[in-house]
Amino acid sequence: MIVFLTFTAAFTPIAAKVVVNAISPLSLAFLRFGTATLLLLAVFRFYGLNFKIDKKDRALFVFLALLVIPINQFCFLNGIKLSVASHSGVLYACTPLIVYIASIKTKNETFNYRKLFSISLTILGILIIFYENLLLPENKGKYFIAGDIVLFFAVASWSLYLAFSQNMVLKYGALKTQTISFTLGIIFYIPLFIMDFGNLNFDKVNFYTILGFLHLTILVAFGSYFLYSYSIKVIKSSTLTTMTNMSPVVTIIFSWLLLNENLSYFFMAGAAVTMLGVFFTQRVKDEMPISTLN
């Protein structure tokens, strides 16, 4: 699961950058998660599950739904259009830190200096890797800062979704939690799609656009999102996000293998620091076991 989540995350900013150049970001979010929601509903029905939840949990599910689709996708796809894929990789490296802080608030984790140190190491490693891109981007654009700010809100909304959905996953299961959150989220997103419908056209769509859309929809929105929810039943959410924080490194490696890009000293130093952070995270014992497989 960790390998799958890491590799899908590694190619997500690249796929998103390709697709938003052909399809309006607001419409893309609806098409992407509308398809993923239909797939989840099909699996949901296959297992004979129902939408019944406790009355006290309804407000939380509304909050989760708003986070995972309307807020996250608006910020991510618009941010990636204004900024660049490498900046997205850097900012999403902050996910474990935000998840960890939020998980302490929800009492799913306790404060641990060693875990905080290891998470900080992974973030430092990613920042070292992308140092040159952050300060000297090849294609300078006046919207990079605005795009990065919007991307940060995408990171924050995704991190909060992971942290606050953990109790619901333990209570209702990953499939039910995910399906209800997605179904509500796509309903809440309909007004944005209607507003943007006039900008939707497929004139620029080509093979790479379709490939990117399939990656974003099938592998990420349907597959990876579910696996993230399922994984936090047995792995602390901050530990999970830190272990998958190797994805920006994977992006660089495949750029070198497929595009013949040079590996700089920044990459080698950053990769070493990131892997050290991941290693330390796996060595830190969770003080509050959250569940076992059932």
pLDDT of 36-86, one tens digit each?
A: 999 999 999 998 999 999 999 999 999 999 999 999 999 999 888 887 676
At residue 140, what are phi and psi to the nearest 5 degrees? -70, 135
Assigned domain for 12 exists: yes
Assigned domain for 201 exists: yes
CB-based contacts of 55-62 (< 8 A; 24+ apart in sequence): 57/168, 57/171, 60/164, 60/168, 61/168, 61/180, 61/181, 61/184, 62/184
What is the distance between the alpha carbons of residues 40 and 14, in angstroms, rounded to a whole number? 25
pLDDT at residue number 74: 93
In angstroms, how far is CA 8 from the centroid of its own chain?
A: 10
- C-beta separation of 57 from 168 below 8 A: yes
What is the distance between the alpha carbons of residues 120 and 274, in angstroms, rounded to a whole number? 9
Assigned domain for 289 exists: no
pLDDT at residue number 294: 32
Assigned domain for 162 exists: yes
Q: How confident is the prediction for the chain on average, in pLDDT?
A: 79
Q: How confident is the model at residue 150 (pLDDT cuts 50, 70, 90)?
A: confident
Q: Which two tokens stand for residue 272?
A: 């070493």
Please write the tens of the pLDDT for every residue from 151-188. 889 988 988 998 888 889 889 988 899 999 999 999 99
In angstroms, how far is CA 216 from the centroid of its own chain?
A: 11
Is a pLDDT exceeding 90 seen at residue 138?
A: no
Assigned domain for 152 exists: yes
Assigned domain for 292 exists: no
Is a pLDDT exceeding 50 seen at residue 145?
A: yes
Assigned domain for 38 exists: yes
Quickly count: other Cβ atoms within 10 Å of residue 167's Cβ.
17
What is the distance between the alpha carbons of residues 133 and 259, in angstroms, rounded to a whole number? 17
Please write the tens of the pLDDT for every residue from 259-279. 454 666 766 777 677 767 766
pLDDT at residue number 293: 31
Pick from 281, 280, 261: nearest CA to 129: 261
Q: How confident is the model at residue 144 (pLDDT cuts 50, 70, 90)?
A: low
Question: What's the mean pLDDT in 80-98?
Answer: 73
pLDDT at residue number 151: 86
- The winner for highest mean pLDDT among 9-13, 46-50, 79-83, 137-141 is 46-50
* Range of the structural domain that residue 79 is part of: 2-283
Q: How many domains in the chain?
A: 1
> 111 versus 178: which is more confidently predicted?
178
Q: What does each C-alpha distance from 286 to 98, 223, 226, 237 come to in angstroms?
A: 17, 26, 23, 11
Percent of the chain exceeding pLDDT 70 equals: 71
Assigned domain for 288 exists: no
The owner of tokens 């490194």 is 249
What is the distance between the alpha carbons of residues 10 and 245, in angstroms, rounded to a whole number? 9
CA trace torsion 120, 126, 129, 130 (10° rounding):
-120
Q: Which two tokens stand for residue 288?
A: 């509050």
- C-beta separation of 90 from 127 below 8 A: yes
pLDDT at residue number 181: 95
- C-beta separation of 49 from 175 below 8 A: yes
- C-beta separation of 239 from 112 below 8 A: no
Q: Which two tokens stand for residue 291?
A: 């569940």
